[in-house]
Copies of this chain bind each other. A is one copy, B any other.
């Protein structure tokens, strides 16, 4: 069988981990912010209204699953989305919600 329904257990578990990361409002907000351009942690904190610490904690989780990539420039660390599929999924889902409202 090659159907998606026959996807093996641990692959489903990995998939679930990615969705789980996207399933928190704070984290999803962060992902949305770095969707198109890299942003410093401080910018993200300011834009989302969250503490630097909280943002950093979340970024660490996102980094661990390689949803996001970090690059240091001087004192600041810039984060950008580092997963093409996640990017397209986020765009797709956002569009979905927009349409649903009509």
Which A residues are closer than 8 A to B by beta carbons? 3-5, 7, 9, 11-25, 27-29, 32-33, 35-36, 85, 88-98
Contact = CB atoms under 8 A, between A and B. Distances in A.
Contacts of A12: 25, 28-29, 32
Given A5-B33, A29-B12, A36-B5, A92 B97 contact: no
Interface of A is mostly: helix
A4 B90 contact: yes
A18 B94 contact: no
Given A21-B23, A29-B12, A92 B85 contact: yes
A23 B25 CA distance: 13
B5 A16 contact: no
3 pairs of A and B residues whose beta carbons are closest in the complex: A20-B23, A85-B96, A19-B23
Contact of A16 (B4, B25, B35, B89): B25
